[in-house]
Amino acid sequence: ATHTVGFEKFRDYVLGKEDGIPKTPKWAEEITGVPARIIKALARLWASRPTSIIHVFGGPYIRGPYATEPARLEVALLAMQGIGKPGVHQLHNSSCCSTDTPFPKPLFAPFIYSSVLGGVYSRLWFLPYEKLKEWYKEVLKQFVPKTLVHEAILNPPISFYGICQSRMPVEEQFIKYKYPADGLPEVHMIWNEDGCLITCWNGGYKIIEAYRSPKIEFILAQHPWLENDCLFADIILPVTTKFEEEDIGIIGSAWSTKQHFAVVYEGKCIEPIGESKSDREIILMIAKKLEEKYPEEFKGLYEKLTEGKTTEDAIREAFEISGAAQYISFEELKERGYWLVPTDPEWKKYKPGLREFYEDPEKYPLQTPSGKIEFYSERLAKHFPDDNERPPMPRYIPYGESHQESLQHPRAEKYPFLLVSNHPRWRMHAQLDDAVWLREIPTCKIRGSDGYLYEPVWINPIDAEKLGVKTGDIVKIYNERGSVLGGAYVTNRIMPGVVYIDHGARADIISLEDRIDRGGAIDLIAPDKTTSKNAAGMVVSGYLVKVEKVDLNELKKKYPETLQRIYYKDAGLCYESYVSTKNESVHN
């Protein structure tokens, strides 16, 4: 073939010549519940005209058990249609600085990670892989993927493949790392600056267990809000919000279409509240104290971090690195507030997406060993010959060694619902969960009979009738890893046998011993394991749960203290919920 290798193996798998199971629409209907006639109609529609696929990162589609497989099957599907020809593209949100899209090319792709440390991350972004890896080796003596933090603390030693960072080439995922690294100790202190590991990543209750491990002698958190991971910290340093800081950034549709980039000046709206400081200030204040108290061990630390630059210098450096400085001065940007990156005047000469590969695969090969789209990966076959969870050729994997989260597995007899958890519609991950004006929207929160605003749990009417549940009732979603409460939202927009709840709600744990959360932080009960045994991605959707109606009065009797926390009926949990001695549970 001119553009692919291994198609014959894939064809034989789909037709059932390999395993005796033809992957027909009827076969798929029995698994998915989607009628075979709909599957046939979609296939015919897809095949009859040029079709592109658009993603914004991928959501739960690539954050479930064995999520490598649907992602790779999508590539196979596009390859069979001739990806790169007019109208056949894959547009995704993950290559934020790439201009390899089917849209007109901008003049350049600006990148501003942060000015927190003098643009250091912006500089790293443009380093070639070998230089970037040198930097990682120098700075990261040992590291652990976020998806394995709990395992690293509770069950060391562990091993994993790849640095697990964007921009790394494919070869990086075949390099094995271990924790603890040779000659280095285990972690004894955690410095947490985002406060959302337990509610935005897999295995939330296991992460809490790791935080409480005797191995962890001290946890420092810096965050604008007292929430989630911060509740397990020994010291919490209040951080300013963007409204209290000066900085620059990028906005617009650049993350999806790579067009209409805007470099913006972010002016300070208000002075810092209370004793809050910016992340940069906090880091530098701690560095200065360490250098003063331990001059030998931390000699030159402050200077190394600042590189002799003030905060304003750091902002200006980030501006210079962004690329916008060639077209507008910092003073002009500050005065105007934004600068739109124009479309490259010669954009027509750049062919969209993979058009060049489509037209001449020999001259414009892909970055694979063969230079072609590989239905069968020789690299996977070489490095992981016995991996049945991410085999050389993509396939349907309902369950396996790492996960038994399928309705086809016997475990579904105990936990009969498949849980879907999307990125939230009314939040940005865990941010804005306390935005009171959004809570007026019916699908944002469900107010229980106790006045508490619960995270909505979408349930099909057929299942709701069996469970004896109606909209507004409080339900418990649980499995062997723990339980989370939510407010029932009965709707035909979710299919029978499936329940749906957004990720990112603020954790409000009633009992650590019994693992019960009231806030709707669904990732607390997500699987502890990663995508598959050799892929360290997160698994936060597509797993088994059971659902049942909750008696709030019984809960109040069992957990009187935690259910009497101060709770503002519109704003929800607050600082006083954890530090106040008042007895009122609901405030107007």
* Position 256 pLDDT exceeds 70: no
In angstroms, the CA 586 to CA 173 distance is: 51
In angstroms, the CA 214 to CA 198 distance is: 19
Q: What is the 3-state secondary structure (H, E, C) of 47-110?
A: HHCCCCEECCCCHHHHCCCCCHHHHHHHHHHHHHHCCCCCCCCEECCCCCCCCCCCCCCECCCC
Residue 368 belongs to some domain of the structure: yes
> What is the reported pLDDT for 570?
86
- Pick the last residue of a domain from 340, 375, 396: 340
Question: What percentage of the chain reaches a pLDDT higher than 90?
Answer: 69
> What is the reported pLDDT for 137?
75
State the pLDDT confidence band at 109, using cuts at 50, 70 and 90.
Answer: low
55 in Cβ contact with 257 (< 8 Å): no
DSSP states along 278-319: -HHHHHHHHHHHHHHH-TTTTTTHHHHHHTT--HHHHHHHHH
* Position 584 pLDDT exceeds 70: no
Token digits of residue 426: 């009314």
What does DSSP assign to residue 405?
-
> Same domain, yes or no, for 200 and 72?
no
Residue 181 belongs to some domain of the structure: yes
> Same domain, yes or no, for 448 and 553?
yes
> Same domain, yes or no, for 296 and 358?
no
> What is the reported pLDDT for 99?
41
Residues listed for the chain: 588
Mean pLDDT of 510-539: 97
Residue 278 belongs to some domain of the structure: yes
Token digits of residue 480: 């062997």
CATH of the domain at 73: 3.40.228.10
> Same domain, yes or no, for 555 and 414?
yes
> Residue 48's domain spans which residues?
4-95+352-383
Question: Rounded to 10 degrees, what is the CA torsion of 368, 371, 375, 377?
Answer: -40
State the pLDDT confidence band at 558, using cuts at 50, 70 and 90.
Answer: very high
What is the value of pTM for the model shown?
0.92
CATH of the domain at 162: 3.40.50.740
> Same domain, yes or no, for 453 and 548?
yes
In angstroms, the CA 192 to CA 341 distance is: 35
Mean pLDDT of 376-393: 96
Q: How many structural domains are present in the chain?
A: 3
> Same domain, yes or no, for 89 and 201?
no
> Same domain, yes or no, for 453 and 566?
yes
pLDDT tens-digit series, residues 314-336: 888 888 877 888 899 999 999 99
State the pLDDT confidence band at 103, using cuts at 50, 70 and 90.
Answer: low
CATH of the domain at 423: 2.40.40.20
Residue 290 belongs to some domain of the structure: yes
* Position 542 pLDDT exceeds 70: yes
Helix, strand, or coil (residue 577): helix
State the pLDDT confidence band at 250, using cuts at 50, 70 and 90.
Answer: confident
pLDDT tens-digit series, residues 162-186: 987 766 778 889 999 999 999 999 9
> Same domain, yes or no, for 62 and 152?
no
> Same domain, yes or no, for 333 and 372?
no
* Position 254 pLDDT exceeds 50: no
Which one has a higher pLDDT value, 42 or 571? 42
* Position 577 pLDDT exceeds 80: yes
State the pLDDT confidence band at 119, using cuts at 50, 70 and 90.
Answer: very low
Question: Diameter of the chain by CA atoms?
Answer: 74
State the pLDDT confidence band at 476, using cuts at 50, 70 and 90.
Answer: very high
> What is the reported pLDDT for 76?
96
Q: What is the mean pLDDT of the chain?
A: 89
pLDDT tens-digit series, residues 268-312: 999 999 999 999 999 999 999 999 999 999 999 999 999 898 989
* Position 105 pLDDT exceeds 90: no
> Same domain, yes or no, for 147 and 51?
no
Question: What percentage of the chain reaches a pLDDT higher than 70?
Answer: 90
> What is the reported pLDDT for 106?
57
- Pick the last residue of a domain from 316, 340, 364: 340
State the pLDDT confidence band at 102, using cuts at 50, 70 and 90.
Answer: low
State the pLDDT confidence band at 111, using cuts at 50, 70 and 90.
Answer: low
> Same domain, yes or no, for 569 and 425?
yes
CA terminus-to-terminus distance, the chain: 70
371: exposed, middle or buried (Cβ count in 10 Å: 0-12, 13-18, 19+)? middle
In angstroms, the CA 54 to CA 258 distance is: 13
For residue 238, the cross-strand partners are: 223
In angstroms, the CA 232 to CA 456 distance is: 26
> Same domain, yes or no, for 201 and 328?
yes
- Residue whose pair of structure tokens reads 């934004």 in the numeric block: 338
State the pLDDT confidence band at 586, using cuts at 50, 70 and 90.
Answer: very low
In angstroms, the CA 509 to CA 527 distance is: 18
pLDDT tens-digit series, residues 20-77: 999 999 999 999 999 999 999 999 999 999 999 887 777 788 899 999 999 999 999 9
pLDDT tens-digit series, residues 183-225: 999 999 999 988 899 999 999 999 999 999 999 999 999 999 9
536 in Cβ contact with 201 (< 8 Å): no
Q: Which of 13-27, 348-362, 446-460 has the lowest mean pLDDT?
A: 348-362
State the pLDDT confidence band at 587, using cuts at 50, 70 and 90.
Answer: very low
Residue 66 belongs to some domain of the structure: yes
Q: Which of 107-116, 419-428, 557-566 has the lowest mean pLDDT?
A: 107-116
Token digits of residue 4: 């692919």
Residue 145 belongs to some domain of the structure: yes
- Pairing of the two strands 482-490 and 516-517: parallel
Residue 67 belongs to some domain of the structure: yes
Residue 303 belongs to some domain of the structure: yes
